[in-house]
Amino acid sequence: MKEKIINFFNDVVKEMKKVTWPTKNELKESTVIVIVVCLIIAAFTYAIDMSISKLLEGLF
């Protein structure tokens, strides 16, 4: 059992060496894109929620 665990972690280390890590600039650009998309989705969700709320208030 101990040998399997050691082999697992050795394999993890090997695979992590194969990973292509992003540069600082790529990471910054991706972060900005994620934040902007989240804000757009939040604004869209808010607008839909407010529209449905007003519609339901008008019906009742």
Q: Are 22 and 30 in contact, with CB atoms under 8 Å apart? A: yes
Q: How far, in Å, CA of 43 to CA of 19, rounded?
A: 35
Q: Residue for token digits 């989240």?
A: 38
Residues 1-56: pLDDT tens digits? 999 999 999 999 999 999 999 999 999 999 999 999 999 999 999 999 999 999 99
Provide the whole-model pTM.
0.67
